[in-house]
Structures are given as C-alpha cells and as structure tokens.
Amino acid sequence: MIYAILKLLHILAIVVWIGGMVFAHFFLRPAALQLPPPQRVPLMHGTLQRFFAAVLVSIATVLVSGLWMIGRLAKETVQAGLAFNMPLDWTIMATLGIVMMAIFGHIRFALFKRLSKAVAASDWPAGGAALASIRTWVGINLAIGVVIIVLTLLMV
C-alpha cells in the first residue's frame, strides 16, 4: 500500500510540473503576448513565481518518493537473497530527472532572479529578455520531461 501511495504522489508531482510547463509555454505566454510589456512582464512574473513555488514542492516530492521506492525495492530484493539491479528505465528516468532539476535550479535561481530585478526596476526590455531565456530553458525541460515519459512507458 505504501508503494502505491508513493507512486501516486510521484506521478501527481510530475503532472503538476510537466502540466504547468505545457500551460505556461503553449497557452499563457501566447495569450500574454497580446498585452503591452508593462502589463505582460509583471503578469508572467507573478504567474511564474507561484508556479516555481509549486515546482519546488513537486521536485521534493519526486525526489523523496522516487528514492523511497527505489530503496524499498532494493531492500526487498536483497532480503530475498538476490542482487538488486535498478531497471534501465528507472536509471534513465532518474538521470534525466536530475538533469531537469538542475535546469530548473538555473531557471529559478538565476533567470527568474533577473526577471524579478527587471520587474522591480520597471525595465521591460530586460524583463522580456529574461522571459525569453526562461522560455527557452522551460522548453528544453519540457522536452526532457516528455522524453522521460515516453521512454519509461515504452520500455515496460
């Protein structure tokens, strides 16, 4: 039962993260482009600030639940007298997931910081440039996230 709950939390956290990137990238941004920069940049800043807080919770949930599930299976395997070999799809998922987390760290703690400074200074060109960088890296993270989902579902 605990494994099922951990897997549920793991998947829900991924849904929040990937789904939020899809929403921001393909729906919010194109609609916000209709606004002038003094309205668009603060709107995107406020939205991303809330989303990034949710992603931090999602990352913590994915890490804890993922490590716990791996550890639980490893323990059960060893207790059964067998050697634990992590499945290839899990290894790929974990490796690419860590890459995604590192990219998110760059987005949140470097690029978003630039955006926040631009908004505080009402420097709309700098805010637009920061948003463009954020969009690029979110697109990369979204692509990696989709690759993880495809690989893990097709390798079963």
pLDDT in tens, 53-83: 999 999 999 999 999 999 999 999 999 999 9
pLDDT score of 155: 82
Residue 38 near residue 124, CB atoms below 8 Å: yes
pLDDT in tens, 41-53: 999 999 999 999 9
CA-CA distance, 141 to 100, in Å (whole number)? 6
**Strand (E) or helix (H) holding 103:** helix 88-106
How much is the average pLDDT of 28-47?
98
The residue assigned the tokens 């807080």 is 53
Q: Give the contacts of 63 (CB within 8 A, at least 6 positions apart).
A: 101
Per-residue pLDDT band for 156 (boundaries 50, 70, 90) equals low
pLDDT score of 40: 98
Residues in the chain: 156
Residue 43 near residue 32, CB atoms below 8 Å: yes
Residue 151 near residue 31, CB atoms below 8 Å: no
CA-CA distance, 88 to 112, in Å (whole number)? 34
Domain tally, the chain: 1
Residue 151 near residue 91, CB atoms below 8 Å: no
pLDDT in tens, 90-139: 999 999 999 999 999 999 999 999 999 999 999 999 999 999 999 999 99
Return mean pLDDT, the chain.
97
Per-residue pLDDT band for 27 (boundaries 50, 70, 90) equals very high
**Amino acid type, 81:** G
Q: Could you list the residue range(s) of the whole structural domain that residue 122 is in?
A: 2-154
